[in-house]
Structure 1
Amino acid sequence: MSSLRESFERASLPAMTWLSGLPRLVPFLVVLALVVGGVLLPPPGWLLLVVVVLLLGWILALAWPRLGAVERLMRGAVIALVAAVTVTRIFPH
């Protein structure tokens, strides 16, 4: 199982290195812009929210072993919230 985890981390290393080289505000603003766009744009604007869910899930998966239970719960709740908004945008009625 650890070899799967190590290969996941190894495959993510170039992207994480690139992200960590950005100013801290940039990834936050990109995610914020994607969420706002996903909520305000007409269909298929919800695809932007899908990107956010996948991005946040990927980052949570990478950070999982280093997080405490409360941190895992909070980050999972954020992903669940964005996923719920995504579902309501896909199926509005």
Structure 2
Amino acid sequence: MPSLRESLESASAPLLRTIASLPRAVPFLVVLALMVAGALIPGWGWVLLALVTLFLAWLLVLGWPRLATQERLMRVAVVALALAITITQAIPR
């Protein structure tokens, strides 16, 4: 029986192949556009930020075993920052 990680990796493989086949700038620009739009759209913009946060967390989980300690810390910091921005947009004062 495959482990949870193996199941996640095999389920993610088709989408990862699709993303890898795109030009390198496209995934970055899509994430950037969604973050900017999510930060600027009042009300439901936090949904876009949540999607980006989940995407970044998914990539972090998939890459975790292959990352060095510094790379792990940097990527966790990026996901934490995206989560903080999402929460700030979702629950305004």
Q: Partner residue of 1:88?
A: 88
Deviation, structure 1 residue 5: 1.2
Q: Partner residue of 1:69?
A: 69
Deviation, structure 1 residue 3: 2.1
What letter is aligned with 1:64? W
- Secondary structure at the counterpart of residue 6 of structure 1: helix
Q: Partner residue of 1:17?
A: 17
What letter is aligned with 2:75? R
* Larger RCO of the pair (alpha carbons < 8 Å, separation 6+): 2
For structure 1, the 5+ residue unaligned runs are: none
What letter is aligned with 1:78? V
Distance across 1 between alignment mates of 2:4 and 2:87: 30
Q: Which runs of 4+ in 1 moved over 4 A?
A: none
Distance across 1 between alignment mates of 2:37 and 2:55: 15
Q: Counterparts of 1:24-35 in structure 2 under 5 Å?
A: 24-35=24-35
RMSD of aligned residue pairs (Cα, Å): 1.3
Which TM-score applies when normalising by structure 2? 0.96
Which TM-score applies when normalising by structure 1? 0.96
| CA deviation map 1:35-68 (0-9, x unaligned) | 0000001111110000000000000100000001
| CA deviation map 1:12-57 (0-9, x unaligned) | 0000000000000000000000000000011111100000000000
For structure 2, the 5+ residue unaligned runs are: none
Q: Counterparts of 1:20-59 in structure 2 under 5 Å?
A: 20-59=20-59
